[in-house]
Amino acid sequence: MKMLNIGIAGAGVAGLCAGAGLAKAGHQVQIFDQFDTPSPVGSGLMIQPVGQSVLDIMGCLPQARSFGAKIDDLHGTVSGHPFPVLNVAYDPDHMTGETGLAMHRSALFQVLLDAATDAGVQLRPGHKVSGITTSPQRQLEFDDARKSEGFDLVIDAAGSGSPISPMTAKPLPYGALWGTVDRVDVPGIPFNRLTQRYHRAQHMAGILPLGTMPGQTAEKIAIFWSLKREDLKSWQNAPIENWLDDVDRIWPEGAPFFRQITTHHQMTPAFYSHGTLRKWHAPGLIHIGDAAHSASPQLGQGANMALLDAWALVMALEHSDNLPKALRIAQKMRRRHVTTYQSMSRFFTSMYQSDSRILPLIRDWILAPPANIPFVRRQLSQIASGSLISPLRETAIKL
């Protein structure tokens, strides 16, 4: 295929990863972002082994590991319950050496930004995308009435609220408050683990070690607290001490982390939705990441899905002789993996974030006990790592 002139909407995980890979392959790439200085939004995330494989192919994994924290297992408890209700190890048989990699969003952003700029991507900040033209070439439209030049291909990586994605997503009733605090040593809370505490399915508090942030040396911790969408304003209007007292009642061991929060502004609310485009592509256009499919972060796969979508597109363009075929292949490579993990996310989300009193009992007394059976532990490990089924269906290239 000839080298393409490509415009990307959104300087997030999907956009930067796709831009870096495509520019390195010789395509001319511009990334448009609404912020004057492109920057990440949010706190912590998990790069699962499947996502790490993409960073490894890109040559970014050593830099990512220099920032992040290795996570060996996921552990969740309910006060007074006789055994953990979440107990998942990445390498339960001590054979693969796989771990999760927890990072602050700013660290992953820096890694991908460096890769994109090194590959020759042109960053175009201060361009808020509002629409897209259809012919003769695709042009991005911006909210100040400007238009971009014409592109052979536009990649929509502008997230679940993308103005150029036709996806209609269903908002989820629960989201989370996220914050970043300093690491402090607390007995019983290891720093190679995602640690969570639940109160039925209505409250979930968690601690995720993050490693370091760009330009800093102190290690950080992400804290999160589940919250109903409709309760956000009342949380913002109440004294911060009220919320901290709630956390203490559910999880007193977490106080040294959560008590570092002194104002509401230190916590960022994040709310989620479930939705999927039936068809990710149109002539000269493809949607990837949350612009094509969105889900709750219950399985910790969001950034990994974005990385995999981006790399599927890079591979599809490399192995196709025309653009329409490449866009079809890119979706085929990802369809089964996305469908599987979205279905599991819908199933598990209600177990951990809902008003149900029955589902958490099923979680605690029916689903949790078999987690110690070796076969089940291996299956749970594959779910967490993102490898329950092949994340990139490379046979699609031959279809």
Quote the percentage of the chain above a pLDDT of 70.
97
Segment holding 101, helix H or strand E:
strand 100-104
Question: According to the model, what pLDDT value does residue 41 have?
Answer: 66
pLDDT at position 141 is: 96
Q: What mean pLDDT is predicted for residues 261-289? A: 95
Mean pLDDT of 33-39: 78
Extract the tokens encoding 32: 């448009």
Q: How high is the pLDDT of residue 395?
A: 67
- Whether the per-residue pLDDT at 43 is higher than 90: the answer is no
Range in 34-48, 152-166, 216-230, 256-270 the model is least confident about: 34-48
* For residue 37, pLDDT beyond 80: no
Query: Is the pLDDT score of 393 beyond 90?
Result: no
pLDDT at 1 over 80: no
Beta bridge partners of 354: none
- Chain center to CA of 96: 23
Establish how many alpha carbons lie within 13 A of residue 109's alpha carbon, considering only the half-sphere containing its beta carbon: 16
Q: Residues 326, 316: contact at Cβ < 8 Å?
A: yes
Instruction: For residue 39, name the pLDDT band (cuts at 50, 70, 90).
Output: low
279-298 pLDDT, tens digit per residue, is 999 999 999 999 999 999 88
pLDDT of residue 399: 52
pLDDT band at 108 (very low <50, low <70, confident <90, very high): very high
| Residue/partner pairs of 375-384 with CB below 8 Å, 24 or more apart | 377/88, 377/89, 377/92, 378/92, 378/93, 380/88, 381/88, 381/89, 381/90, 381/91, 381/92, 381/98, 383/88, 383/299, 383/344, 384/48, 384/74, 384/88, 384/90, 384/100, 384/299, 384/300
Give the pLDDT confidence score for residue 398 in this predicted structure: 60
- Mean pLDDT, rounded, for 316-328: 95
Q: What is the pLDDT of residues 188-201, one digit of tens each?
A: 899 999 999 999 99
If one compares 349 and 42, the residue with the highest pLDDT of the two is: 349
> How large is the average pLDDT for residues 67-71?
97
- Tokens standing for 109? 């952003």
Cα separation, 199 vs 177, in Å, equals 16
User: Which whole number is the average pLDDT over 171-195?
Assistant: 94
Q: How many residues does the chain have?
A: 399
β-pair partners for 171: 273
Position 396 pLDDT exceeds 70 = no
**pLDDT score for 38:** 62
Percentage above 90 pLDDT, the chain: 92
pLDDT band at 136 (very low <50, low <70, confident <90, very high): confident
With 90 as the cut, is the pLDDT of residue 40 above it?
Answer: no
Query: What is the pLDDT confidence band of residue 323, given thresholds at 50, 70 and 90?
Result: very high
pLDDT of the residue at 201: 94
Whole-number Cα distances in Å, 294 to 52, 76, 172, 262, 302: 20, 24, 11, 32, 8
Q: Span 142-162, mean pLDDT?
A: 95
Find the mean pLDDT for residues 228-235.
Answer: 96
pLDDT beyond 80 at 397 = no
